[in-house]
Structure 1
Amino acid sequence: MFGFYRLAAVVPELRVADVDFNLSKLAEGYEKAAKAGAAAVVFPELCITGYSCGDLFFQRRLLERAAEAAVEFAALTAGKGTVAVFGLPLLRGDALYNVAAVAQGGELRGLVPKTLLPNYREFYEKRHFRSGRGIVGESVAFGARSLPFGTDLLFDCGGGFQFAVEICEDLWGVLPPSSLLALGGARAIFNPSAGTELAAKAEYRRELVRQQSARCLAAYVLASAGVHESTTDVVFGGHALIADNGRLAAENRRFARKGSLLLADVDFDRLGAARLSESSFHDNPLPEGKRFRTIPLDRVEGSPDFAFAYNPPRPFVPGDVEHRRERCTEIFDIQCAGLAKRVEHTGAKKLVIGISGGLDSTLALLVASECCRLIGRPASDIVALTMPGFGTTGRTRGNAVKLCELLGVTLREVDIRPACLRHFEDIGHDPAKLDTAYENVQARERTQILMDIANEAGGMVVGTGDLSEIALGWSTYNGDHMSMYAVNCSIPKTLIRFLIETTAERSAPELAAVLRDVIDTPVSPELLPASADGSINQKTEELIGPYELHDFFLYHFIKYGAEPEKIRALAGAAFAGVYDEETIERTLQIFLRRFFQQQFKRSCIPDGPKVGTIALSPRGDWRMPSDASDAIWRS
């Protein structure tokens, strides 16, 4: 569904050298994975016999029964569609190979030999097996069929679902086979493994899987031998992992006595989009003469739902509290470092900021305050201007004043209403007409004041606009759209609240209270008169839709090129019970229309620091013509 495929890793119960018992457990695991809607499932290394058979691998009876069982297991896949990847010993001539078999549609479809054979400490594979290095373009007689055999196999199920296989130690090498297989087109790597458990080894294995999935811009699925392997000298833990482009998508609990089934829904279209636009992936050519054979398989079904997908409603905001604090601290540090460099370079004597009591200007002020501390300047070098207009409320103005006092910055107030009324008279505008001109006159008057005071003081204007506003063009052209350095320009609205909250957590109680009230204040430009009770009348999210929806759309549209139909489906799943279909659709149409129509504002935005993988600067991130049509996205 929309490029998502469900991947599975099964760690079955096992008896060492008891092929019939192992076959029955493989069948059970496969049946569970197939019923769960898995497109493919991987089992551990040598799971037909058990990895720890030792010199029993020299026994022909064991090898022959293993080969028979592989054919029998493959037959069980008939009519299911789900691909099975499992391990067995393969006798070819006078050489024995540790191989992964790929089965689908009732038949074996290919055999991949292990390349790197460990021969240290508890592993002595070279005693029993031969490396598959250099085996390309070959086939092997297996039962009544001839099967593709080699390390050059790519398996293609259509629909972007192309995968390859490497085995255990292959991943631990300096140059894992999966690196070249990914360059050859594999979007998923399956690894039948048999890793022993030692203190801290699982953590290292987890990082290997995660990092390799990131380097390869691929999914990586590993299933390792479980606790029923021989414990003569070592213990196997049955570790199973699924990673997706650097993210750990799923992990089982090790040392399970009854086996385990691990599932994750992975977006293969997203992997393709990342390879297309996000990295130097295609600048890594395959070695001269390196070729891969593509083995066509039957088409597999996409994920039946998003039950095992990573689809958070706030994709810019880490869900884990500690991770979120760490991320917010890092972003804040990036902002401060960017502003500090600009101040030092320009020799600015003052930092001039328009402070409204809203989220964006609060964060910009906090950044400026920390910047001054970093470069040894007094907080009084920050000139914060509160500029009440026709829509300013007591709550926002009060918070702005308190914030400036607590931070020790220089606070100035300029009432823009008289100047705006004079301007209305100059241009012949009826001030009772609350239209775009009415609003934008105020925004431009504020920017003019900021720029002029910065010139007068030998300073620079610190911009406050955020990524969400830039995406939607929710700013007045040459008004709040403009500054001399925009510290929030790549931070979405949904993340700004958490950045301020992180500062509040380490602030004195009085400052923390002000910051938290700012967080709770409705988002508003306050350009229309307040309500009769003095509260905010103009609420942005009532006009253009919830920012958390806009940020969700922005993330999927920009980062992965998701089509509107897919975005709708993902939003419907992520915001189930929060927003109905009508709200999601209406907000999506607003997002698409404004994103295209307002590109002209992004074509000339100020400098500012990039803090994440998504930014809309025309100088290094998003290049788009200002007059591009949105017709095919909104049709």
Structure 2
Amino acid sequence: MQNGFIKVAAVTPEIRVADPVFNREQIVEQMTKAAAKGAKIQVFPELVLPSYTCGDLFLQDKLLTETGEQLRILVDASRDVDALVFVGTIWPENGKLYNVMAAFSRGELLGVIPKIHLPNYGEFYEHRHFTPGNRQCVDVEFADLDGNVYLVPFGTDVLFQCDTLKALVVGAEVCEDLWAPQPPSIHHALAGATVIINGSASNEVVGKSAYRRSLVVGQSARLMCGYVYATSGQGESTTDLVFSGQNMIAENGTLLAEAKRFRNSITYGTLDVEKLAGERRRNTSFGPMDQEGYEWIDFSLDLEETSLPKISKAPFVPARGEEQAERFEEILSIQAMGLKKRLEHTRCRHAVIGISGGLDSTLALLVTARAFDSLDLPRDGILAITMPCFGTTDRTYQNACVMSKAVGAELREIPIRDSVRSHFQDIGQEESVHDVTYENAQARERTQVLMDVANQLGGLVVGTGDLSELALGWATYNGDHMSMYGVNAGVPKTLVRHLVRYSAETCGDPALRDALMDVLDTPVSPELLPPEEGQISQKTEDLVGPYELHDFFLYYVLRYGFSPEKIYRLAKAAFAGDYEDAVILKWIKNFYRRFFSQQFKRSCLPDGPKVGAVGLSPRGDWRMPSDACSRIWLDEVESLQE
């Protein structure tokens, strides 16, 4: 439960129809088992205690009496269970019978949530036995095994808040409620619920499982919540229906876990309620909060360290699978369409790119070629300029030349050594002093050349810098930092690498493919320092740290606003075996230091397209003062232990 993580379980036990004694025994067994696995929220199916398929037996006094007695035993059995448990049962009240989810924890019944929308079609005749519940809560009596009678809320508008993890607020609905036009979960979420549970008894027919899945996942997305869905399985009557036990756990539009159908099982998942709360803070269309009429019930859970789910090392990169290529195409199209619009608007028929033979300029060249194709412009309107200077190696120079020719761009070489030396003389800079002035003078000279040539052609300078470099400030102010349109501004370095690889694998040109693959094998470098024995001497990742780590940090800082402590914990889990904890700690300190100190470069960025969930444009996603103080973040980073 630390850092907002909570393990949940959707449980489908073995049951017998109209045998609440046996069913209670199975529920206790599975409840204890799930608790031993660390599940703090447990959800059992609709009417699981008596069984859903009792039919007119629901009207028999004996079944009602025995089910009530078994509920008391069940609640008492939870005394030593560190979990909030929801079990479907029947509840007689004021001469009516209700289909409810009973919520209990540590031996106490906390609330009773009735089903509102009762189906009365097909094989379902719930109106024959049950009365729809109300949103407004009333107090009803519950007698425990010791004969103590106390009042509990009865109604749908009740939320359960954990006193040891305030972001964990749980609301409940029952089966058909989710299928209705206005599910109770909408109100729950707007009142503050971050987790919705659903005890269900949804039967199986051909094609229904996919629709059911879409409902669960879609509702978790709309409500930015965790959704725990437990449904009936084997043991229910098969007189007319079959139940598959399709338990599901979803979080904000992502299906975290799903049970294999046609078997009874416990399905586990780990939700991050801090992340969900952060998502809602960012989304101004979520709300406004409406807690009118709600009753809040506190419950307590032990604050333990929850085991983390598998954490992706590359959160910006689409997962491998059939959709990965489709996502790569989509990203490249977004980049190209952004540039296409700018070229159309400015009536430019020429684009100028500084081509270095590195990853970023390679991707910019490929994107520009796509943009020209979409405009039916000849690719020789792309001017790729290579500007060798003190740090240029033959490897990157040759790759730049091969790629430019392969895509059909015009290639021009403009050496800048003499210009930079002249500038050094003007400002009194010793060429032997390889300091920041030595490096930045080269970068700014290149930008000046690109801008002036673009003016000659009536063209547009295409920027090559990527999202990771913007985050770290790894760009020369008014040097490679500047352009007339930055096509890579929304693409982090890890994703740049994948897009170039995808382009290599799909281009169909052997010469271009070989050059692209060699670019991928070349160390990332600005090549501003002289090479050593013909090899690159200045390797970016040796200086600022591995980009895969920085992209990981960047994602969780921008996307969810996580604390340094939480990001460090996630990084240790994701990169276990790849980096020692001390290495991760070293570079996360460097990330925060650079991220805050380099905001002034981001405050005056050229235009460029957003392609993913986050960006650093000062006009859109990220509006941060250039002189914001980093102290509280760096203090927390300094307190972290290896």
TM-score (norm 2): 0.96
Aligned to 2:639: none
The answer on whether the counterparts of 1:71 and 1:107 sit within 8 Å (CA) in structure 2 is: no
- Corresponding position: 1:506 with 2:506: yes
Aligned to 2:169: 162
Aligned to 2:568: 568
Deviation string 1:301-346 (CA, Å, 9 cap, x unpaired) is 355321xx25211111122332322221111111111111111011
- Corresponding position: 1:263 with 2:263: no
- Corresponding position: 1:151 with 2:156: yes
Distance in 1 between the 2:70 and 2:184 partners?
27
Aligned to 2:251: 244
The answer on whether the counterparts of 1:171 and 1:178 sit within 8 Å (CA) in structure 2 is: yes
Distance in 1 between the 2:503 and 2:213 partners?
32
Aligned to 2:472: 472
RMSD value over aligned CA atoms? 1.3
Distance in 1 between the 2:506 and 2:363 partners?
15
The answer on whether the counterparts of 2:45 and 2:230 sit within 8 Å (CA) in structure 1 is: yes
Give the counterpart letter for 1:115 in structure 2.
Answer: I
Structure 2 residue matching 1:531: 3-state secondary structure: coil
Give the counterpart letter for 1:198 in structure 2.
Answer: V
Aligned to 1:304: 306
Give the counterpart letter for 2:453 in structure 1.
Answer: I
The answer on whether the counterparts of 1:5 and 1:301 sit within 8 Å (CA) in structure 2 is: no
Unmatched tracts of structure 2, length 5 or more: 144-148, 636-642
Give the Å deviation of 1:349. 2.0
The answer on whether the counterparts of 1:39 and 1:302 sit within 8 Å (CA) in structure 2 is: no
Distance in 2 between the 1:588 and 1:209 partners?
36
Give the counterpart letter for 1:547 in structure 2.
Answer: Y
- Corresponding position: 1:206 with 2:213: yes
Distance in 2 between the 1:17 and 1:301 partners?
38
Matches within 5 A, 1:339-354: 339-354=339-354
The answer on whether the counterparts of 2:353 and 2:365 sit within 8 Å (CA) in structure 1 is: yes
Give the counterpart letter for 2:233 in structure 1.
Answer: G
The answer on whether the counterparts of 1:19 and 1:69 sit within 8 Å (CA) in structure 2 is: yes
Structure 1 residue matching 2:250: 3-state secondary structure: strand
The answer on whether the counterparts of 1:39 and 1:301 sit within 8 Å (CA) in structure 2 is: no
Distance in 1 between the 2:630 and 2:381 partners?
45
Give the counterpart letter for 2:113 in structure 1.
Answer: V
- Corresponding position: 1:331 with 2:338: no
Give the Å deviation of 1:133. 3.1
Deviation string 1:377-410 (CA, Å, 9 cap, x unpaired) is 0111111111112111122111111111111111
Number of equivalences: 626
Distance in 2 between the 1:602 and 1:51 partners?
59
Matches within 5 A, 1:51-90: 51-90=52-91
Distance in 1 between the 2:366 and 2:108 partners?
64
Aligned to 1:41: 42
Give the Å deviation of 1:79. 2.2
Structure 1 residue matching 2:551: 3-state secondary structure: helix
Give the Å deviation of 1:590. 0.7
Aligned to 1:589: 589
Aligned to 2:227: 220
Matches within 5 A, 1:175-194: 175-194=182-201
Deviation string 1:556-575 (CA, Å, 9 cap, x unpaired) is 11211111111111111111
Match of 2:280 among 271, 275, 300: 275
Give the Å deviation of 1:487. 0.7
Give the counterpart letter for 2:87 in structure 1.
Answer: F
Deviation string 1:246-288 (CA, Å, 9 cap, x unpaired) is 11111111111xx2111111111111111111341124x54xx
Distance in 1 between the 2:31 and 2:393 partners?
63
Distance in 1 between the 2:123 and 2:380 partners?
66
Aligned to 1:6: 7
Structure 2 residue matching 1:228: 3-state secondary structure: coil
Structure 2 residue matching 1:102: 3-state secondary structure: strand
Deviation string 1:515-555 (CA, Å, 9 cap, x unpaired) is 222222211111111121x1211111111110011011111
Structure 2 residue matching 1:112: 3-state secondary structure: strand
Aligned to 2:180: 173
Aligned to 1:355: 355
Structure 2 residue matching 1:12: 3-state secondary structure: coil
The answer on whether the counterparts of 1:98 and 1:113 sit within 8 Å (CA) in structure 2 is: yes
Distance in 1 between the 2:627 and 2:460 partners?
32
Distance in 1 between the 2:124 and 2:491 partners?
49
The answer on whether the counterparts of 2:200 and 2:231 sit within 8 Å (CA) in structure 1 is: yes
Give the Å deviation of 1:505. 2.5
Give the counterpart letter for 1:128 in structure 2.
Answer: H
Give the Å deviation of 1:201. 1.3
Give the counterpart letter for 1:117 in structure 2.
Answer: L
Structure 1 residue matching 2:361: 3-state secondary structure: helix
Aligned to 2:640: none
Structure 2 residue matching 1:140: 3-state secondary structure: strand
Structure 2 residue matching 1:280: 3-state secondary structure: coil
Deviation string 1:400-454 (CA, Å, 9 cap, x unpaired) is 1111111111111111111111111111111111110111011001100110011
Structure 1 segments (4+ residues) deviating >3 Å? 299-303
Give the counterpart letter for 1:111 in structure 2.
Answer: V
Structure 2 residue matching 1:148: 3-state secondary structure: strand
Aligned to 1:120: 121
Distance in 2 between the 1:422 and 1:241 partners?
68
The answer on whether the counterparts of 1:6 and 1:302 sit within 8 Å (CA) in structure 2 is: no
Aligned to 2:26: 25
Distance in 2 between the 1:173 and 1:469 partners?
48
Give the Å deviation of 1:300. 4.3
Distance in 1 between the 2:215 and 2:574 partners?
30
The answer on whether the counterparts of 2:40 and 2:301 sit within 8 Å (CA) in structure 1 is: no
Change (3 A) 1:324 1:279: farther
Structure 2 residue matching 1:6: 3-state secondary structure: strand
Unmatched tracts of structure 1, length 5 or more: none
Matches within 5 A, 1:436-585: 436-510=436-510, 511-532=512-533, 534-585=534-585
Give the counterpart letter for 2:221 in structure 1.
Answer: A
Q: What's the % identity of the aligned pairs?
A: 50
TM-score (norm 1): 0.97
Deviation string 1:130-181 (CA, Å, 9 cap, x unpaired) is 11134x1302223333221001100011212111100111111111110110
